């Protein structure tokens, strides 16, 4: 009797847990099935994805940044760079108010509404569309449903074209690069995925922490449902086998074929479901663990008197300079020069003297800045290891957007990725972050099948999600049939 009661209890709880998880499973599998269409097969195409700025020798500036500041009574700035577009050559100056203004590199005259004009120029370059009118333009300083945190870059201009496909292009003018682009089809997929996979509506209603806790509870219920189902199969498999053999011997109709399909398909996809649930739950748990407000981006204010040497008189040829900016760290101000070999050089703004290993030193400085009390920066003996990362890998994946970056590696295994040309923290990877990242890309997104190509990988992941959906629906049908 005791054994029979235990088995009956397992059956009961398996049904209850399965019913609770049914709707979330339908949401997650259907939205998961849509992801390959959004990110691969139905992903919109754009004419150009990378903008290559002119070298300084091609821009041919007449005035130095000091002359620009003097002519326009600018006593300070945060940063600057030289750009060229259809309006001419300009100094793109970031002021204390974090607003870009554009001054002619020829005569120092301010270009009205320059940042919006440059954003439109870049958007038209990326789309190669010089004909369509603009539907709207706005400076976006926060992520939303259509421009999600996975895009990383902020602030950006959202440039919307008046076209049948509803194309929107997100442009970061400070780096002359694109954040992302969406047409009507992709917007629809984004909405579907945001609402049914990440359950953004819960975050809107009750906050991000509530959403993550709620979804983690559902994940635990799914795991318990999976384990109870496998336990039932193990406890009753002899009985199931005998029933099936008896039906075959008597040639009677299998009236419980729905139950049988639920068991058989469930056994087949149990490992797949386990990988989805474990990686998803781990992902949510780490998000809750890392639920610490991020430190505000490093900001500097450079006064005119800190700029002694002209930016046009540095000991490096104009023909190799792709971008010039300015940074301040450890009490000194430097011109930061990106050359055509993607090397970042540093020259003292007062003396013009080059600083050896300047990019490494600046990366260390920024890494120290971005550490918070909760992230636990310790004092280590000697110099922390720094190396440049020029391509994405399993730890620093393409979703991080920024390249090249400096990787600051600490003895405890933490890696902090810094984009020194923008003074931004690109990513931080601690022990638990690394484990979660690997589990998510291999167990949830099937990156282990990258060798077969993206199409095959997406097909396999879709078949896996479809299998979980079918098992859940057969389980629900079994419940209805029993009733």
Together in a domain, 416 and 459? no
Determine, yes or no, domain membership for 137: no
- Which structure tokens are listed for 170? 């997100």
- Is the separation of the CB atoms in 403 and 238 below 8 Å? no
For position 1, what pLDDT does the model report?
A: 45
Residue written as token pair 């484990």: 435
Which tens digit of pLDDT belongs to each residue from 263-320? 777 777 888 888 888 988 889 888 888 777 778 889 899 999 999 999 999 999 999 9
Together in a domain, 221 and 262? yes
Share of the chain above pLDDT 70, in %: 89
Together in a domain, 368 and 416? yes
For position 376, what pLDDT does the model report?
A: 57
Which tens digit of pLDDT belongs to each residue from 383-400? 689 999 999 887 888 778
For position 324, what pLDDT does the model report?
A: 96
Q: Is 414 left (phi over 0), alpha (psi -120 to 50) or beta?
A: beta
Together in a domain, 471 and 405? no
Mean pLDDT of the residues in the chain: 86
Specify the higher pLDDT residue, 209 or 457: 209
Domain termination residue (choose one: 371, 406, 422)? 422
For position 123, what pLDDT does the model report?
A: 97
Domain termination residue (choose one: 388, 422, 456)? 422
For position 426, what pLDDT does the model report?
A: 92
Residue whose C-alpha is closest to residue 274's, from 410, 481, 444, 86: 444
For position 462, what pLDDT does the model report?
A: 84
Burial of 411 from C-beta contacts in 10 A (0-12 / 13-18 / 19+): exposed
Together in a domain, 283 and 204? yes
Determine, yes or no, domain membership for 8: yes
DSSP state of 354: B
Determine, yes or no, domain membership for 150: no
pTM: 0.85
Sheet containing 88-94, strands listed edge to edge, beginning at the edge strand earlier in sequence = 79-85, 88-94, 100-104, 110-111
Specify the higher pLDDT residue, 190 or 293: 190
Determine, yes or no, domain membership for 264: yes
Determine, yes or no, domain membership for 263: yes
Number of domains making up the chain? 2
For position 378, what pLDDT does the model report?
A: 56
Binned at pLDDT 50, 70 and 90, residue 7 comes out as low
For position 254, what pLDDT does the model report?
A: 55
Cis peptide preceding 291, ω within 30 of 0: no
Share of the chain above pLDDT 90, in %: 48
Cα–Cα distance, 282 to 280 (Å, whole number): 5
Determine, yes or no, domain membership for 77: no
Cα–Cα distance, 400 to 426 (Å, whole number): 7
Which tens digit of pLDDT belongs to each residue from 38-79? 776 767 889 999 999 999 999 999 999 999 999 999 999 999
Give the best-scoring range by mean pLDDT among 25-29, 172-176, 183-187, 378-382.
172-176
Together in a domain, 206 and 287? yes
The yes-or-no verdict on residue 241 having pLDDT over 80 is: no
Print the domain residue range for 455.
Answer: 2-43+197-293+446-482
- Is the separation of the CB atoms in 125 and 116 below 8 Å? no
- Is the separation of the CB atoms in 394 and 441 below 8 Å? yes
Cα–Cα distance, 429 to 436 (Å, whole number): 10
Residue whose C-alpha is closest to residue 120's, from 139, 96, 142: 139
Cis peptide preceding 70, ω within 30 of 0: no
Cα–Cα distance, 62 to 38 (Å, whole number): 47
Q: Average pLDDT in the 196-220 region?
A: 90
Cα–Cα distance, 414 to 408 (Å, whole number): 8
Which tens digit of pLDDT belongs to each residue from 417-462? 999 999 999 988 887 888 888 788 887 777 777 777 777 887 888 8
Together in a domain, 412 and 451? no
Determine, yes or no, domain membership for 96: no
Q: Residues near 52 by Cβ (< 8 Å), separated by ≥ 6?
A: none
Determine, yes or no, domain membership for 229: yes
Task: Give the distance, in angstroms, between the CA of residue 1 and the centroid of all CA atoms in the same chain.
Answer: 55
The yes-or-no verdict on residue 255 having pLDDT over 60 is: no
Together in a domain, 413 and 465? no
């Amino acid at each position: 009797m005791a054994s029979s009661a235990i088995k009956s209890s397992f059956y009961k709880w398996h049904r209850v847990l399965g019913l609770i998880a049914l709707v979330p499973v339908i949401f997650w599998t259907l939205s998961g099935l849509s992801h390959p269409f959004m990110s691969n097969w139905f992903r919109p195409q754009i004419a150009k994805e990378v903008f290559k700025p002119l070298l300084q020798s091609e821009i041919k500036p007449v005035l130095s940044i000091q002359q620009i500041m003097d002519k326009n009574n600018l006593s300070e700035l945060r940063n600057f760079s030289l750009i060229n577009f259809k309006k001419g050559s300009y100094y793109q100056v970031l002021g204390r108010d974090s607003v870009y203004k554009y001054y002619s590199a020829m005569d120092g005259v301010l270009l009205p509404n320059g940042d919006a004009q440059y954003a439109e120029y870049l958007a038209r370059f990326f789309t190669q569309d010089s004909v369509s009118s603009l539907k709207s333009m706005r400076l976006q300083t926060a992520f939303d449903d259509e421009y999600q945190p996975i895009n990383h870059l902020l602030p950006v201009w959202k440039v919307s074209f008046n076209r049948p496909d509803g194309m929107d292009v997100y442009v970061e003018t400070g780096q002359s690069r694109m954040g992302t682009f969406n047409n009507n089809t992709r917007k629809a997929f984004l909405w579907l995925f945001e609402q049914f996979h990440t359950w953004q509506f819960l975050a809107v209603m009750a906050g991000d922490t509530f959403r993550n806790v709620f979804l983690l509870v559902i994940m635990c219920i799914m795991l318990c449902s999976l384990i109870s189902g496998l336990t039932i199969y193990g406890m009753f498999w002899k009985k199931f086998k005998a029933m099936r053999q008896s039906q075959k011997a008597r040639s009677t109709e299998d009236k419980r074929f729905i139950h049988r399909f639920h068991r058989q398909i469930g056994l087949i996809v149990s490992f797949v479901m386990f990988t989805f649930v474990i990686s998803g739950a781990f992902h949510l748990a780490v998000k809750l663990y890392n639920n610490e407000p991020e430190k505000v981006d490093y900001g500097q204010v450079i006064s005119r008197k800190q700029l002694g040497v002209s930016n046009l008189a540095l000991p490096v040829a104009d023909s190799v300079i792709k971008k010039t900016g300015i940074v301040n760290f450890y009490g000194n101000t430097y011109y930061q020069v990106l050359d055509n070999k993607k090397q970042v050089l540093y020259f003292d703004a007062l003396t013009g003297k080059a600083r050896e290993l300047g990019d490494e030193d600046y990366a260390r400085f920024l890494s120290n800045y971005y550490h918070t009390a909760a992230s636990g920066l310790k004092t280590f003996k000697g110099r922390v290891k720094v190396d440049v990362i020029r391509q994405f890998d399993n730890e620093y994946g393409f979703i991080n957007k920024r390249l090249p970056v400096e990787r600051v590696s600490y003895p405890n295994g933490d890696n902090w990725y810094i984009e020194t040309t923008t003074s931004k923290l690109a990513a931080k990877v601690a022990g638990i972050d690394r484990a979660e990242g690997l589990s998510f890309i291999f167990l949830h997104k099937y990156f282990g099948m990258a060798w077969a190509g993206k199409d095959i990988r997406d097909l396999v992941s879709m078949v896996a999600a479809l299998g979980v959906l079918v098992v859940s629906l057969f389980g629900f049908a079994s419940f209805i049939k029993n009733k």
